[in-house]
Amino acid sequence: MRIIIDNLKTVANLSIILLFSGNVFAAQTAVHRDLIKAADKQSSNSYAFKKCRNLQSKPFNPASKKKKAIIVGDSQGCDFLNGVLENGYLSNYQIAFRFIPYPCQLVPGENRSKYIRPQDHQLCSPRNERTDNLEEAKKQIEQADLVIMAALWKPEVSQKLPKVIRYLNLKQRQKLIVVGNKFFGKMSIHDYIHMPRQEIKTLRNEVGTTSLHINATLKTKVKKQAVFVDPHQLVCGDNTTCPVFTDRLQLISYDGRHLTKAGARYIGKILFQQSPLKKIR
């Protein structure tokens, strides 16, 4: 009888071990599956840009009773929009998007050549239907209740953002949000696949000081004209490293700049739960 009991205990312990091992394997497999999916840059790019491109220059519906929100920016603005939509934020708003690529970022009223390189003139031409500019977007911006400027800010534009804001001539009823820079460092997806979960949990990338410096400038420059949201400080803290994975071990960015679907959901929650964005209704 004792032998039978001992055998039963052994079987039970083995079952627990196998169940635990199976769960660990399943979790590890899920991490690997997400990483392999993120490594498909064409698919990842399609996700990052699809929704903002679909909303680009879309007019507000005058028959709608919803308030109006407009996001002005580059691919970082697309990330912000994805974070909004993945979490169901701004559901009380119509949302429009004006896409101004990073190379086309400038200060209205100043010489374009100071900000736009010769090789980008065609991209940034007002005749290019794939890109936008503040001059063309201004009329729609005037209609919005909420204006969000989210971009990878050029250092020279960040210094003069108050002038850009004055150019928009926003009314007192309009709320302006400026979202700062973010960067998650060099991604090595194929290396991550071979890392144990414990290492992935605490993995951080070196990202340098650019986002810290530009966001410090933006915070100082726009504090009297807009609400400033600092993604770097909220996600990475006041240092030069940033997490690579979410708290659920999902990759935040597939290339260091642009967010995965899981990353957009993760960053969006942080921005709207831990910054003045949480007051927006």
Question: Is residue 8 assigned to a domain?
Answer: no
pLDDT tens series, the chain, 281 aa:
544 445 444 444 544 444 444 444 444 577 778 788 777 789 999 999 999 999 998 999 999 999 999 999 999 999 999 999 999 999 999 999 999 999 999 999 999 999 999 999 999 998 888 899 999 999 999 999 999 999 999 999 999 999 999 999 999 999 999 999 999 999 998 888 889 889 999 999 999 999 999 999 999 999 889 999 999 999 999 999 999 999 999 999 999 999 999 999 999 999 999 999 999 97
Residue 99 tokens read as 């896409």
Q: 94 - beta bridge partners?
A: 68
Question: Is residue 9 assigned to a domain?
Answer: no
Residue 34: the pLDDT is: 77
Question: Is residue 16 assigned to a domain?
Answer: no
Our count of domains for the chain comes to: 1
Residue 229: the pLDDT is: 98
Question: Is residue 12 assigned to a domain?
Answer: no
| Contact status, residue 170 vs residue 143, Cβ threshold 8 Å | no
Residue 202 tokens read as 């605490």
Residue 13: the pLDDT is: 52
For residue 163, the number of C-alpha atoms closer than 13 Å in the C-beta half-sphere is 10
Residue 11: the pLDDT is: 40
| Contact status, residue 74 vs residue 258, Cβ threshold 8 Å | no
Name the residue range of residue 236's domain. 41-279
Cα-based torsion angle of the residue sequence 130, 101, 133, 155 in order, rounded to the nearest 10 degrees: -170
How many other β-carbons are positioned within 10 Å of the β-carbon of residue 82? Answer: 25
pTM, two decimals, is 0.88
Residue 231 tokens read as 């993604």
Helices 161-168/210-222 angle, 10° precision: 50
CATH of the domain at 117: 3.40.50.1110
What letter represents residue 108's amino acid?
P
Question: Is residue 6 assigned to a domain?
Answer: no
Q: Are strands 67-73 and 146-150 parallel, antiparallel or unpaired?
A: parallel
Question: Is residue 186 assigned to a domain?
Answer: yes
Residue reference for tokens 């407009």: 70
For residue 155, the number of C-alpha atoms closer than 13 Å in the C-beta half-sphere is 5
CA distance 163 to 272: 27
Residue 152: the pLDDT is: 98
Question: Is residue 81 assigned to a domain?
Answer: yes
Question: Is residue 48 assigned to a domain?
Answer: yes
Residues near 226 by Cβ (< 8 Å), separated by ≥ 6? Answer: 149, 165, 176, 177, 178
Report the candidate in 11, 34, 54 with the shortest Cα–Cα distance to residue 260: 34
For residue 36, the number of C-alpha atoms closer than 13 Å in the C-beta half-sphere is 7
